[in-house]
Homo-oligomer: A and B are copies of this chain.
Amino acid sequence: MNDLFPANQGKKATIDDVAALAKVSIKTVSRVFNAEPNVRPTTRDRVMAAARELDYQPNLSARRLAAKRAFVIGLLYDNPQSDYIIAIQEGALQICRQYGYHILIHPCTEEPAGLVSEAVNLKSQGMVDGFLLSQPISENAALIQALEQRNIPHVRISQRALGGAPCISVNDEEAAARMTQHLIELGHTRIGFVMGHPDHGSSHDRHDGFQRAMAAAGLTVNPDWVEQGLYNFESGYSAGRRLLAAALRPTAIFACNDHMAMGVLTAAHEQGVTVPGQLSVCGFDDTPMARYSWPPLTTSRQPIHQVALLAAEVLLKRIRNEAGGDQSHLLHCELVRRASTGSAPG
């Protein structure tokens, strides 16, 4: 800490102080701080020196008022999975810091009724410059339409194209097919599937991938072995119980996310079914939990961090009218083999 006298006489320096000390007009100081052209290097240095000496910090409120920009992006989400949200927050923040922006979080835990007006107000009050929409709220048509109609910059993290805004997607279909193929390669033919929440686009994509891989291997999907889940532990648990209660039960269960896979594992443990001896179980997402379960869960790792980086970058470029502010991106998952999947019994 070399700032023994950081609060210079208790008064914060303003742009006028800097201009006076550097013997230039305030506009020139503004130019320097906004990296605008038409400033001679020598002048620039003089301004910077003066700013440093006065410990000058541009007042953000004033900048915002004058420039009509907030230097803040809003992060909208209604996903209850902490790990996912935290990863998105961290990734987005990493980019924001590079651009000198900040993040305002806006979880929508309650009914989405007031959500649209809340979001619009946030923008019209000058709180934020745009929004990053995480799944599944990024698939809310009313919200997207409202943002689009008012020209509010936004970038969506979603598997579904919706409106004209850029969209950062993960190829869930492909990854689910890859996972199914992994089970098939282990010799499984009786494969059960636990679907995710029907409102999430990802749930359908993963199901599609499963179906495609099964068909490609010439295997039939037994409808009795396909259960509807809700992306949470409880739904996975009850789906697991139902699947394991069948007269002829599957030798492998592919749950659409890790939480449900954990539920399936618990159902198996309760009934004394060994994993992966008698039953292989796999999930999706590679949540931290997947490494800590017993046995550790085979799953598919989403590049969440990468998604967040891209989403924030595209949004900021969009806000700042830079190139690349309208590009969508498609990312891929990575299969993570752990101990919960093994060769088919018999």
Residues of A within 8 A of B (CB): 1, 3, 6-7, 12, 57-62, 64-65, 68, 70, 72, 82-83, 85-87, 89-90, 93, 102-105, 107, 109, 116-117, 120-121, 124-127, 142, 146, 150, 233, 259, 262-263, 265-266, 269, 288-289, 291-296
Contacts and interface: CB of A to CB of B under 8 A. Distances in A.
Nearest to A60: B125
B105 A93 contact: yes
A262 B60 contact: no
A231 to B, nearest CB: 13
Given A107-B89, A294-B265, A127 B233 contact: no
Chain copies in the assembled complex = 2
B57 A65 contact: no
A interface secondary structure, majority:
helix
B294 A125 contact: no
Contacts of A262: 292
B70 A65 contact: no
A48 B225 CA distance: 60
Contacts of A291: 233
A289 B294 CA distance: 12
Nearest to A269: B294
Contacts of A85: 82, 86
A104 B103 contact: yes
Closest 8 CB pairs of A and B: A61-B64, A82-B82, A82-B86, A61-B65, A61-B126, A262-B292, A60-B125, A82-B83
Contacts of A93: 105, 107
A259 B61 contact: no
Contacts of A89: 105, 107
Contacts of A58: 125
B59 A126 contact: yes
B102 A103 contact: no
A145 to B, nearest CB: 10
Nearest to A94: B109
A113 B64 CA distance: 28
B82 A125 contact: no
B127 A60 contact: yes
A102 to B, nearest CB: 6
A79 to B, nearest CB: 10
A239 to B, nearest CB: 14
16 contacts: A58-B125, A60-B127, A61-B61, A61-B64, A62-B126, A82-B86, A85-B86, A90-B109, A93-B105, A93-B107, A102-B104, A102-B127, A105-B105, A233-B288, A266-B294, A294-B294
Contact of A60 (B117, B126, B292): B126
A59 B62 CA distance: 12
Contacts of A86: 82, 85-86
A286 to B, nearest CB: 14
A2 to B, nearest CB: 10
Contacts of A68: 61
Contacts of A294: 265-266, 269, 293-294
Contact of A6 (B57, B87, B120, B259): B120
A105 B259 CA distance: 27
Nearest to A113: B1
A274 to B, nearest CB: 12
Given A102-B127, A289-B289, 9 more contacts: A82-B85, A82-B87, A82-B288, A89-B105, A90-B107, A93-B107, A233-B291, A265-B294, A269-B295
